Structure 1
Amino acid sequence: MTFIKTSESKGHSGSKIDRRSWKMPVAFAIVSLISGVLFIGFAEDAPTGFDLSTGTDLFRLPIIQLPALATGVIVTILMALIAVGSAFMISQDRKVPTWVPAFGALFALTGFLTWAAADETLRVPELLAGSLVLAVPLIFGALGGVISERAGVVNIAIEAQLLAGAFVAAVVGTITASPFAGLFAAAVAGMLVSFLLSVFSIRYLVNQIIVGVVINVLVSGLTGFLYSQWLVESPERLNNPEGFSAVSIPILSGIPIIGPVFFKQTVIVYLLYIIVAAVAFALYRTRWGLRLRAVGEHPKAADTVGINVKLTRFWNVALAGAIAGLGGAFITLSQTGQFGKDVTAGAGFIALAAVIFGRWDPIKATLAALLFGFASNLQNALSVVGSPVPSEFMLMLPYVVTIIAVAGLVGKSRPPAASGTPYIKG
């Protein structure tokens, strides 16, 4: 028997297999080329203003003026330098620091905004606040995806959990005239949808991907039917929930930039802050988190030490569904004010991409969801200032970012080892 070491594996030519990823330098080389064409070749020789304050801030920050053409030149040079520098580090078998692509993305975004809003002024707090609103359902869905997949169950049904939560929150919130009742009912609805996923994938060992897709179709069809049969006929009686109003936190809400964005929000957003912190802490610092990660990485070893793998997976998938259901409640109780057919508009699938982009970590998945929310809100911000960027391009931007994330251009991602694998005892 011949054993071949991975590090010394050879191809047909006898040379060592090169396992280094050149995605980052290639990506930044392409970005530098695009920025050179757009930001320099089609740039207006006019300044772009960035207003960092609102009228309710404790103190006002000055408006930053950036010349569009000069900024485009600088950003293009920086993108080229990052491409060359990262290629050199990879060729030397050195890991590219995380801050390099992070700052590169920030520079590229600054160049794009400066070019797109030339001779206008962007209100940065409004741009960021709108991005957070669009990101909230994605964050709830991504947290549900992280918990479920850490337990070993691929949660393709995030879209269904969001949609069920949105529908039930609208109906219960209208009947009871209480947004809190609608919020609680949405969590229950998301949990019930997750029970379907758990029963078929854990109890009957059905392929988790297929079950998730079927559940998405089932819930979409069911809510669409009930919407057309009930809610359209009696909107005032069944689809007119009382929403949550924004609550400003004294002093904190007056801090420039971050105050209006994070501390002038509804109860659901403040609840989201708590859930993100709780999941991030509990996943790595508590017995619950240890058992959750154990059944997702090595269920047989977990079973050996006395952990009930199937029961642990079942209840954590249920918890994941409840959290995702809260994201659906936010859509109808804070965002749109009522339920509409397929109101989630694919948010569950973008949340799933955030899970992969965030490498199955609650904090990183939250940041990824914020990025997707920002990409979605760019259309609204740039349309206000009359940007020349076609609206069709801005509409597809969130999905382009999603594809880039899933394609792995941000680096290698390794899911939990047992994710998607049914556990059979014995």
Structure 2
Amino acid sequence: MKFIVQTLVSRLVETGNLKITYPDGTSQTYGDGTGNPVHLRLNTRKALWGIAFDPAYYLGHYYGTGDIDIVEGDMYGLLKAVFTGNPDFKYYDTGWNRTLERVRFLFRWLRQKNSVVRSRRNVQHHYDLTGALYDLFLDEDRQYSCAYFERPDLSLDDAQLAKKRHIAAKLNINRPGQSVLDIGCGWGGMALYLARQLGAKVTGVTLSDEQHALAVKRASDAGLSDEVKFLLQDYRNTEGPFDRIVSVGMFEHVGRPNYLTYFKKSAALMKRDGVMLLHTIGRTDRPTANNPFIEKYIFPGGYIPALSEVMQAVEKSGLAITDIEILRLHYAETLRHWRERFMARREEAKALYDEKFCRIWEFYLAASESAFRWQNLVVFQIQLVHDQQAVPLTRDYIGRGEDCLRAHEGDAKGAQRGARQFPKEASL
């Protein structure tokens, strides 16, 4: 097994400075000695066997259990060495790892057949962790999705505000009182923004008890309970119709077998002149299986689609796509902020849970950032309609809408809502 690991790492890390100490006490250095040094120690033979058999799963698993330690550097530095040390070599496309990927791909439908009951259980696994954990690393509005860095120097809070502004502009809400459905509303930040800034009547749905309770409280505290209501409900049980639909960071939990159901239900919930904006993680290459570590420990039942898989379902749903934007590296920067914030307050996270939990989340945040920075993950923003005349002919309205929203974001209580200059009605 040691020889297999040595061979694999030698091909992965041609540049960089990675040292591995094996269970027998011997050490070997890989790379050309450039960059920050990273020292990985395999404490047990089962860790060695795990890395040889299935590194995609066992690196994170055995780091979590303590069978693997990082003596120098950190997990992000290790993954950087692995993913940038030889960009032309993809370990998952070779030998046994290719077979594992194919098997996982073939059986993905079984793991992603998310019924209403199973979907709720999957959501509770992650999103019903104590809110105190998320307060350690998210922005003040608890946006747990990709931020939008209009400038590289934006703070996390400003970039998350820019994300909400960008999405709101694409929804083209052009008069007060329009109804909006927020599928997967999280802790309510997007819904509250649309109500506060655009006078929308928003219904948010979530399957998380923790998210629902806080979202309801936030609406009450903001004096927006009449404008925004949050339901502990599956989107499949929601009744419409709505003028607008927004879904941010929820589609990743739908599961590939349910894509057609998702888009058909969205089509049924949206009025004929409505607009929908879907914001989801996607992959730039062919459809494949999820990372097995993330699937088990972080997001059970989830799936990251290729654009071809989304398009296939949309085409059968009766909806039309009017705009697609690919956000490149924005999530990598978002995750960098989350990772750095989490590590700065790691002891507080350990007090909430335990050391194993912290190690698992270290790996989750570092691996996710690596996937967006050096691998194949991006974010799709897809705009959908029934009627192609529901949005203006050119994309200029998005910038105008953002300018309008930016001018009014200081009006926290929405006192001037009725006097706002909404974008003009969509027309040709």
Higher helix share: 1
TM-score in terms of structure 1 length: 0.27
Higher strand share: 2
TM-score in terms of structure 2 length: 0.27
Higher relative contact order (CA 8 A, sep 6+): 1
